[in-house]
C-alpha cells in the first residue's frame, strides 16, 4: 500500500445518531455509495485524512521513480530501457494525478512538496530500499506494483470523486507495470544459473519489504475503522496482505523461485496460505527515517526541486512577458 498508517484524528467512530445534521447527511450519502465532490460540505476530519492519504500516495509515486531511475541507463537491452523509461514516466503522471486530486481539498502543490521535503509528510517505506541489480527492477514491477494494485483497485470505488477517478487512470497503467516486471524476471530465470540466482536474491530482499507495504495489522485501529466508515479505505491491511501472498506464491513457483519464508504453507481449511510475520521493528525504523536509502531519496527530491527553481521561474517570467506583450498589442490595435 502506498499510503501507510494514515491518521484520521478520530478518537472513535461515531454512530449516525451522534452526528450533527450536516455530518449525518454526509455519512448517509457515503453509506449509499454516492461520491463526494470537491466543493461539497465534508467533515474536517475527512478532508484532512484525505489530504494525508492522497499526498502520501502522490509522494510515493514520485519518490518511487528514484530506485528505478537508477537503472534506466544500465538496462540490459534497448527494449528493456524503453519499457523502463515508459514506466518511470507513468509514475510521474500518477504523482501528478494524485497531487491534483489532493489540491481539490484546499492544499497547494508547493505546500505538499514542502511537507515532503521537511519530512513532515511520509511516502511508502518500500522506496527506501536500494536497487542493487537488474533483477531488482523486475522484482519491483512484479512485487511492489503487484502489492500496490491490491490496494489501488478497491480505491477506484472510494467515496471521494477526484481520488477515485485518479485511481481509475492509475490502475489501467499499473497492470503494464506489473507485467513488465514479471516478464523481465521470467526471461532471467531461463538464463544462466547466475541470472537465476540474481532473481532469487532479488526476491529474498524484496519479499518482506513488499509484505510490509500493507502496514501492520490494523484490525484494532480506530483510524482504520474511521477510514472504512468514510469509504476511503475498503479492506484491512491483513486482508490485502493475505490476498497478495495467495496471488504471488503460485507466480513465484512458476518462476522456479523459493519464497524466503520458512512458515509459508498452504492452509486447506482457510483456503489460503499461512505465512510468517514481517519484521515490524525494521518497518517502524524505515518509517522513522532510518532505512537504507531514506536520506538519499529525500536529498534527491530536494536537489531536484532546488535545481529546477531557475527553470520554473524562467517559464513564469516568459509567460508574464508574453501576456504583457499580448495586452500591449491589443491596446495598440484599438
Partner 1 sequence: MSSEWPLWEVFIRGQHGLNHRHVGSLHAPDAEMAVNNARDVYTRRNEGVSIWVVRSSEITASAPSEKGPLFDPSNSKVYRHPTFFDIPDEVGHM
Contact positions toward partner 1, by CB under 8 A? Answer: 37, 39-41, 86, 89-90, 92-93, 96-97, 100, 103, 108-110, 165-166, 169, 309, 312-313, 315-319, 322-323
Smallest gap from residue 110 Cβ to partner 1 (A): 5
Smallest gap from residue 242 Cβ to partner 1 (A): 33
Locate cell 463526494: which residue? 36
**For partner 1, which is the closer residue by CB, 169 or 302?**
169
Smallest gap from residue 103 Cβ to partner 1 (A): 7
Smallest gap from residue 105 Cβ to partner 1 (A): 13
What is 73-133 written as a DSSP string?
GG-SSHHHHHHHHHHHHHHHHHHHHHHHHHHTTT--HHHHHHHHHHTSS---GGGGS---S
**For partner 1, which is the closer residue by CB, 72 or 228?**
72
**For partner 1, which is the closer residue by CB, 48 or 165?**
165
**For partner 1, which is the closer residue by CB, 108 or 258?**
108
Say how far apart CA 59 and CA 124 lie, in whole Å: 8
User: What b-and-e string marks burial along 127-162, b requiring 16 or more CB atoms within 10 Å of the CB?
Assistant: bbbebebbbbbbbbbbbbbbbbbbbbbebbebbbbb
Say how far apart CA 272 and CA 260 lie, in whole Å: 17
- Could you tell me the three cell numbers for 113? 512538496
Smallest gap from residue 215 Cβ to partner 1 (A): 28
Smallest gap from residue 261 Cβ to partner 1 (A): 37
**For partner 1, which is the closer residue by CB, 28 or 37?**
37
**For partner 1, which is the closer residue by CB, 18 or 320?**
320
Say how far apart CA 272 and CA 250 lie, in whole Å: 12
DSSP 8-state assignment for residue 271: T
What is 18-32 written as a DSSP string?
GS-HHHHHHHHHHHT
Smallest gap from residue 11 Cβ to partner 1 (A): 29
| SS3 of residue 36 by DSSP | strand
**For partner 1, which is the closer residue by CB, 92 or 295?**
92
First vs last C-alpha separation in the chain = 59
**Contact criterion met (CB below 8 Å) for 55 and 99:** yes
**For partner 1, which is the closer residue by CB, 7 or 117?**
117
> 295: which residues sit within 8 A by CB, 6+ positions away?
289
Smallest gap from residue 84 Cβ to partner 1 (A): 15
Amino acid at each position: 500500500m502506498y499510503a501507510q498508517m494514515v491518521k484520521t484524528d478520530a478518537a472513535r467512530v461515531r454512530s449516525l445518531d451522534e452526528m450533527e445534521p450536516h455530518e449525518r447527511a454526509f455519512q448517509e450519502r457515503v453509506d449509499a455509495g454516492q461520491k463526494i465532490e470537491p466543493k461539497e460540505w465534508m467533515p474536517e476530519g475527512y478532508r484532512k485524512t484525505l489530504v494525508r492519504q492522497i499526498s502520501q500516495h502522490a509522494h510515493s509515486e514520485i519518490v518511487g521513480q528514484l530506485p528505478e531511475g537508477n537503472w534506466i541507463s544500465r538496462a540490459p537491452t534497448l527494449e528493456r530501457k524503453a519499457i523502463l523509461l515508459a514506466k518511470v514516466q507513468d509514475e510521474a503522471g500518477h504523482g501528478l494525478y494524485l497531487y491534483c486530486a489532493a489540491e481539490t481539498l484546499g492544499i497547494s502543490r508547493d505546500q505538499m512538496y514542502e511537507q515532503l521535503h521537511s519530512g513532515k509528510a511520509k511516502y511508502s517505506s518500500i522506496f527506501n530500499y536500494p536497487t542493487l541489480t537488474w533483477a531488482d527492477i523486475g522484482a519491483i514491477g512484479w512485487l511492489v506494483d503487484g502489492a500496490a494494485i491490491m490496494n489501488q483497485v478497491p480505491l477506484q470505488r472510494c467515496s471521494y470523486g477526484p481520488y477515485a477517478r485518479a485511481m481509475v487512470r492509475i490502475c489501467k497503467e499499473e497492470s503494464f507495470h506489473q507485467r513488465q516486471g514479471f516478464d523481465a524476471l521470467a526471461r532471467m530465470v531461463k538464463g544462466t544459473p547466475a541470472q537465476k540466482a540474481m532473481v532469487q536474491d532479488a526476491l529474498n530482499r524484496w519479499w518482506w519489504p513488499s509484505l510490509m507495504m500493507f502496514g501492520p495489522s490494523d484490525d484494532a485501529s480506530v483510524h482504520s475503522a474511521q477510514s472504512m466508515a468514510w469509504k476511503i479505505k475498503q479492506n484491512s491491511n491483513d486482508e490485502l496482505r493475505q490476498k497478495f501472498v495467495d496471488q504471488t506464491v503460485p507466480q513465484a513457483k512458476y518462476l522456479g523461485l523459493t519464497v524466503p519464508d520458512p512458515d509459508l504453507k498452504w492452509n486447506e481449511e482457510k483456503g489460503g496460505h499461512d505465512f510468517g510475520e514481517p519484521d515490524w521493528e525494521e518497518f517502524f525504523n524505515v518509517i522513522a527515517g532510518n532505512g537504507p536509502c531514506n536520506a538519499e531519496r529525500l536529498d534527491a527530491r530536494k536537489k531536484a526541486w532546488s535545481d529546477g527553481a531557475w527553470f520554473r521561474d524562467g517559464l513564469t517570467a516568459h509567460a508574464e512577458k508574453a501576456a504583457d506583450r499580448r495586452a500591449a498589442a491589443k491596446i495598440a490595435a484599438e
